[in-house]
Amino acid sequence: CVPLVLNLFPLGRGAFSVVRRCVKKSSGQEFAAKIINTKKLSARGRRR
């Protein structure tokens, strides 16, 4: 597990996920993390 600092504000949002700005604590490197809401994904599959 890599220690990260997540920004509280999302960079983008979709129907099933949100993209947040992250910073790696050890190096200060910035990147984006896509966080997928699996509960919404599985609920959509049950409706089909």
- How far apart are the C-alpha atoms of 42 and 48, rounded to whole Å? 10
User: Does residue 24 have a known ligand-binding role?
Assistant: no
User: By the 8 A CB rule, do 37 and 17 touch?
Assistant: yes
- List, as residue ranges, the binding site for ATP: 34
Residues belonging to the binding site are 34
